[in-house]
Chains A and B, each alone.
Chain A
Amino acid sequence: MTQVIGQALQRHEDIRLIRGQGQYTDDMKLPGMVYAHIVRSPYAHAKITAIDTSRAKKMPGVVAVFSGQDLKDEVGLIPTAWIPPDADMKVTPHPALAYDEVRYQGDGVAVVIAESPYLAQDAALAVDIKYEPLKVVTDPFEAKAEGAPGVHTEIPDNVAFHWQAGENLDDIFQKAEVVVKHHFRQQRLIPNAMEPRSALAQYNAAKGELTLWATTQNPHIHRLLMSGLLGIPEHKLRVIAIDVGGAFGSKIACYPDEVIVSWASKKLNRPVKWTETRQENFQVTTHGRDHVQEVELAGTRGGEIQAIRVKTYANMGAYLSTAAPGVPTILFGLIINGAYKIPHASSEVFGMLTHTTPVDAYRGAGRPEATFLVERMVDLYAQALQMDPLEVRQKNLIRHEDFPFTNAFGLQYDSGNYQETLSKALEIFDYPKFRREQENLRKQGKYIGVGLSTYVEMCGLGPSEVAGAVGFQGGLWESATVRVHPTGKVSVYTGASPHGQGEETTFAQIVSQELGIAVDDIEVIHGDTQQIAMGWGTYGSRTTAVGGAAIHMANEKVLEKARKIAAHKLEVNEEDVSYDSGTFSVRGLPSKSVTFQEVALDAYLAWSLPPGIEPALEGTAFYNPKNFTYPFGAHIAVVSVDPDTGDTTLLRYVAVDDVGRIINPMIVEGQIHGGLVQGIGQALWEGAEFDEQGQLITGSLLDYALPKARFFPKFETAHTETPSPHNPLGVKGVGETGAIASTPCIVNAVMDALKPFGIDDLSMPLTPPKVWQAIRQAQGKESLHS
Chain B
Amino acid sequence: MYTAPFEYRRADTVDQAVKWLQDDPDNSKILAGGHSLLPLMKLVLAQPPVLIDIGRIQALKGVRSEGDHLEIGSYTTYQELVKSPEVDAFCPLLALSAKTVGDVQVRNRGTIGGSLCHADPQADMPAAMLALDATLVIEGPQGTRTEPYDGFLMAPFITNLGAGDILTGLRIPKLPQGAHCVYLKRPHPASGYPLVGLAIWMTFEGQRIGNCHVGVSGIADLPFRARHLEDFLKGRVLDDKTIKEAGPLAGDEASWEKDEYKENLLKVYVMRALSQLGELAAAKGQNAKS
Interfacial residues, chain A to chain B (CB-CB below 8 A): 117-118, 121-122, 125, 277, 279, 644-646, 685, 701-706, 708, 711, 768-769, 772-773, 776
Contacts and interface: CB of A to CB of B under 8 A. Distances in A.
Contact of A122 (B5, B190, B191, B264): B5
B104 interface: no
Contacts of A705: 188-190
Given A644-B268, A772-B261, A772-B264, A706 B2 contact: no
Given A769-B261, A772-B264, A704 B5 contact: no
A608 to B, nearest CB: 64
Contacts of A703: 190-191
A702 B191 contact: yes
A553 B164 CA distance: 74
A117 B2 contact: yes
A704 B190 contact: yes
Nearest to B195: A768
B154 interface: no
A437 B190 CA distance: 33
Contacts of B2: 117-118, 121-122
A711 B4 CA distance: 37
B4 A279 contact: no
A277 B1 contact: yes
A453 B1 CA distance: 42
B104 to A, nearest CB: 13
B249 interface: no
Given A122-B5, A702-B191, 16 more contacts: A121-B1, A121-B2, A277-B1, A644-B264, A644-B268, A645-B265, A645-B268, A685-B189, A703-B190, A703-B191, A705-B188, A705-B190, A706-B190, A769-B261, A773-B261, A776-B260
A772 B259 CA distance: 13
Interface residues of B, number: 16
A157 to B, nearest CB: 36
Contacts of A773: 260-261
Closest 8 CB pairs of A and B: A705-B189, A705-B190, A702-B191, A769-B261, A118-B2, A644-B268, A277-B1, A121-B2
Contacts of B261: 646, 768-769, 772-773
A272 B25 CA distance: 40
Contacts of A118: 2, 5
B190 A279 contact: no
25 contacts: A118-B2, A118-B5, A121-B1, A121-B2, A122-B4, A122-B5, A125-B44, A279-B43, A644-B264, A644-B268, A645-B265, A645-B268, A685-B189, A685-B190, A701-B191, A702-B190, A702-B193, A703-B191, A704-B190, A705-B189, A708-B189, A711-B189, A772-B264, A773-B261, A776-B260
Contacts of B260: 773, 776
Nearest to B261: A769
B107 to A, nearest CB: 16
Contacts of B264: 644-645, 772
Interface in B23-64: 43-44
A313 B236 CA distance: 59
Contacts of A768: 261
A685 B191 CA distance: 12
A646 B195 CA distance: 14
A285 to B, nearest CB: 16
Nearest to A121: B2
A689 to B, nearest CB: 12
Contacts of A772: 261, 264
A569 to B, nearest CB: 61
B117 to A, nearest CB: 20
Contacts of A277: 1
Nearest to A279: B1
A685 B265 CA distance: 18
Interface string B241-262: 0000000000000000000110
B63 to A, nearest CB: 29
A168 B4 CA distance: 61
Contacts of A645: 264-265, 268
Contacts of B4: 122
Contact of B190 (A117, A644, A701, A776): A701
Contacts of A708: 189
A573 to B, nearest CB: 67
A645 B267 CA distance: 10
Contacts of B265: 645
B105 to A, nearest CB: 14
Nearest to B189: A705
B55 to A, nearest CB: 23
Interface in B147-197: 188-191, 193
Contacts of A122: 2, 4-5
A711 B193 CA distance: 15
Contacts of B44: 125
Contacts of A685: 189-190
Contacts of B190: 685, 701-706
B185 to A, nearest CB: 13
A279 B5 CA distance: 20
A188 to B, nearest CB: 16
B271 to A, nearest CB: 9
A54 B141 CA distance: 44
Q: Chain A CB within 10 Å — which of B190, B260, B261, B265 has the most?
A: B190
A122 B1 CA distance: 10
A629 B70 CA distance: 67
A196 to B, nearest CB: 11
Interface in B176-231: 188-191, 193
A82 to B, nearest CB: 33
Contacts of B43: 279
Interface string B261-287: 100110010000000000000000000
A703 B2 CA distance: 21
Nearest to A642: B268
Nearest to A698: B190
Contacts of B188: 705
A769 B195 CA distance: 12
Interface in B1-33: 1-2, 4-5
A772 B268 CA distance: 12
Contacts of A701: 190-191
A708 B191 CA distance: 11
A117 B1 CA distance: 9
B68 to A, nearest CB: 39
A711 B190 CA distance: 11
A711 B44 CA distance: 32
A769 B193 CA distance: 17
A381 B193 CA distance: 41
A116 to B, nearest CB: 9
A55 to B, nearest CB: 16
B250 to A, nearest CB: 16
Contacts of A769: 261
Contacts of A125: 44
A412 to B, nearest CB: 42
Contacts of B1: 121, 277, 279
A165 B98 CA distance: 58
Contacts of A704: 190
A108 to B, nearest CB: 16
A702 B120 CA distance: 14
A706 B265 CA distance: 22
A104 to B, nearest CB: 20
Contacts of A702: 190-191, 193
A125 B188 CA distance: 33
A776 B264 CA distance: 11
A644 B188 CA distance: 17
A583 B19 CA distance: 80
A704 B191 CA distance: 8
B106 to A, nearest CB: 13
A277 B268 CA distance: 39
Nearest to B3: A118
